[in-house]
Amino acid sequence: MLKQLTLAAFAALTLVSSAADNDGWTSMFNGKDLTGWKSNEETPGSFSVEDGAIKVSNGRAHLFYTGPNGDAKFTSFEFKAKVKHMEGSNSGLYIHTAYQDKGWPDKGYECQVNSTAHKDPKKTGGLYAVKDVLNTAPVADGEWFDYSIKVDGKHITISINGKVTTDWTEPEGWDPATALKNMPGRKLTEGTMAIQAHDPKSVVYYKDLFIKPIN
């Protein structure tokens, strides 16, 4: 009897610990396939799963997070993932965006993923064309690193390996059509996330993707 009670108590404790560890985070990727994501297939085959990670390669396309019900949308949230960019590679993580068939996403902001060796001077950890990390990426190529994004109201924070690389608040009355060249949709509203496949020479990996709504 005592042994049965002990086992029951252990099982209950395990369930409580598991719930506590989750702490509101939702897994966005099952490590096996692209369930919960939709590629626009602008360049077919740009997204695949390799060794438990989303592999981005081949050519320009975007992979949009649809979630379990196909209608994922977020306003204020925290996001975290592990990322690895190979030498000379470019990619990005779009926030507050929406599915579109082709082209760079018109809606939302791009959080840059770009290695030191790529010719674009806007590097990993920046908010593309808004508040950039210039010339030198904060992490090396070929190594996994932690990429975190927090959107709290109009405040955007990007952190790489726990260090803040971008801290920016969208100004009152922000008009991206005036402030930014050819980027009229760069504005916080609501939307999903997307992973960018940039060009045929770029290879980038993403795994352990989690998101948590806040407020």
Q: What is the 3-state secondary structure (H, E, C) of 43-59?
A: CCCCEEEECCEEEECCC
How do residues 160-197 score in pLDDT, each as one tens digit? 999 999 999 999 999 999 989 889 999 999 999 999 99
Q: Is residue 183 a contact partner of residue 176, using CB atoms and an 8 Å limit?
A: yes
- Pick the more confident residue, 146 or 4: 146
- Helix, coil or strand: residue 20: helix
- Residue-averaged pLDDT of the chain: 90
pLDDT of residue 182: 85
pLDDT of residue 195: 98
How do residues 55-114 score in pLDDT, each as one tens digit? 999 999 999 999 999 999 999 999 999 999 999 999 999 999 999 999 999 999 999 999
Query: What whole-number distance in Å separates Cα of residue 84 and Cα of residue 69?
Result: 28
Query: What whole-number distance in Å separates Cα of residue 174 and Cα of residue 189?
Result: 12
pTM greater than the 0.85 cutoff: yes
179: alpha, beta or left? (left if phi > 0; alpha if psi -120 to 50):
alpha
Enter the tokens of residue 69.
């019900």
pLDDT-above-70 percentage for the chain: 90
